[in-house]
């Protein structure tokens, strides 16, 4: 991998501390908004369900899955602005483009996750007709493969913001960064 595509992961924590030191209250405020946008609608949705407004409660729970994307992107953009500048220049940040790419990334990740789980379920069902031990092996090995894949995608959203990648490019770059060097 070319040095220009690598993130300085060794210096990530000191650089993050430098960035946090420049605007701590903005970082804390955005982190609080992130947590509130995830927890608040879900709690409200559960209360609405108990009051008999099931469809509205379900809508609020769904909103709690989507709403945190906005403060998360804002926090990543703030961190990107506060970190010490690199020698390479990046194109200006366009919120509409970034929101579309982040939504596409989340939908792709979710689709791949659900597809993987459906494949594990189908294979374990087919293997279970022959042997329950084989079905258990399919579930365990498939679960481990899904966890490894999810771990390889942990940097996709930050790369989308930091390098202005598109969704698929961010997924590929994240996989390359997390993969052990040969």
The ranges assigned to domains in the chain are 1-89, 92-182
Q: Tell me the pLDDT of the chain averaged across its residues.
A: 86
Q: According to the model, what pLDDT value does residue 88 have?
A: 60
The distance between the two most distant Cα atoms of the chain, rounded to a whole number of Å, is 61
CA distance linking residue 118 with residue 124, whole number of Å: 10
Mean pLDDT for 38-58 is 90
The radius of gyration computed from the CA coordinates of the chain, to the nearest angstrom, equals 20
Q: According to the model, what pLDDT value does residue 3 have?
A: 46
pLDDT tens, 51-71? 988 889 899 988 888 899 999
Mean pLDDT for 148-170 is 90
Is the pLDDT at 87 greater than 60? The verdict is no
Is the pLDDT at 137 greater than 90? The verdict is yes
| Alpha carbon distances (Å) from 145 to 93, 116, 163, 179 | 35, 9, 27, 14
Find the range with the poorest average confidence among 54-68, 82-96, 141-155.
82-96
Mean pLDDT for 87-110 is 84
Q: Which residues contact 72 (CB under 8 A, 6 or more apart)?
A: 34, 157
State pTM to two decimals.
0.76
Proportion of the chain above pLDDT 90, given as a percent: 43
- Where is 69: in which H helix or E strand? helix 69-82
Q: Estimate to the nearest angstrom the gap between the alpha carbon of 82 and the chain centroid.
A: 21
């Amino acid at each position: 991998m070319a040095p220009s595509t690598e993130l300085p992961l060794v210096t990530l924590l000191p650089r993050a501390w430098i960035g946090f030191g420049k605007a701590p209250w903005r970082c804390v405020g955005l982190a609080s908004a992130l947590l509130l946008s995830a927890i608040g609608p879900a709690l409200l949705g559960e209360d609405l369900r108990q009051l008999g407004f099931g469809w509205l409660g379900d809508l609020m729970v769904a909103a709690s899955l989507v709403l945190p994307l906005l403060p998360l992107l804002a926090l990543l953009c703030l961190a990107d602005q506060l970190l010490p500048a690199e020698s390479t220049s990046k194109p200006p940040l366009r919120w509409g483009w970034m929101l579309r790419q982040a939504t596409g990334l989340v939908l792709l990740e979710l689709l791949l996750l659900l597809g993987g789980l459906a494949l594990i379920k189908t294979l374990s069902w087919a293997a279970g007709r022959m042997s329950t031990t084989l079905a258990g092996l399919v579930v365990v090995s498939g679960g481990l493969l899904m966890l490894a894949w999810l771990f390889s995608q942990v940097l996709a959203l930050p790369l989308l913001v930091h390098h202005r990648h598109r969704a698929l490019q961010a997924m590929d770059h994240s996989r390359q960064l997390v993969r052990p060097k040969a």
